[in-house]
Homo-oligomer: A and B are copies of this chain.
Amino acid sequence: MDVLVPFDARDPNSRLAPVLTPDERRAFAAEMLADVLAALDATDADATVLSTASVACDASVDVDERPLTEAVNARLVGADGPLAVVMADLALATPAALSRLFGTVGDVVLAPGRGGGTNALVVRHPEFRVDYHGASVRDHRRGAERVGATTAEVDSFRLATDVDEPADLVEVLLHTEGRAARWLHDAGFGLRTGDGRVRATRD
């Protein structure tokens, strides 16, 4: 399966700004990207990082400065077979969850993200295009219907969890032991319980 992994090398995960400096966000984003690429590497995926600028990582990199939707659609136009798109901040992704995505039958297979996003998808229809603005999972369902493509959805907490705000750091600390989790530990983050909610706090 050919897989695109879009990555913002310039100002990644901007909603983590309340808890991480710009340099820390870039470093943490690179660790999450490495985790996603490692998980993909244990599947049948042939991954290409679609990055807004050059980035050092363990996959081929295709630099495209255009906005996400435009850059992905340019690849869908040229695809001569199935193409998957997997976001770079899915730090909880496992080979099992990704294999379930790639193995689900459908012209368009969606992995919904929390809050209406589309964290990963597989496209097997020549006319389908993405639109990552707004409630994209709803728009992708409609877009698939419009071009006569069958759709399916994969029910995965790991793929639904894009790590883009401070509360999401809890999930990384609880559910992975990958590079992103180690980076958080090294940066002094840990879980705090006690007042009813679980929070990731820093020393």
Contact = CB atoms under 8 A, between A and B. Distances in A.
A191 B114 contact: no
B193 A135 contact: yes
A116 interface: yes
A185 interface: no
Nearest to A197: B115
Nearest to A175: B112
Interface stretch (A2-10, A69-77, A152-160): A152-160
A42 interface: no
Contacts of A96: 155
Contacts of A158: 155
A134 B199 CA distance: 10
A110 to B, nearest CB: 11
A170 interface: yes
A23 to B, nearest CB: 24
Contacts of A157: 112, 114, 155-157, 159-160
A105 interface: no
A135 to B, nearest CB: 5
A112 B135 CA distance: 25
B174 A116 contact: yes
Contacts of A160: 157, 160
A133 B198 CA distance: 10
Nearest to A199: B115
A57 interface: no
A194 B139 CA distance: 13
A35 interface: no
B114 A171 contact: yes
7 contacts: A96-B155, A116-B174, A116-B191, A116-B198, A134-B194, A155-B158, A156-B157
Interface of A: 94, 96-97, 112, 114-116, 133-135, 137-138, 155-161, 167, 170-171, 174-175, 191, 193-194, 197-198
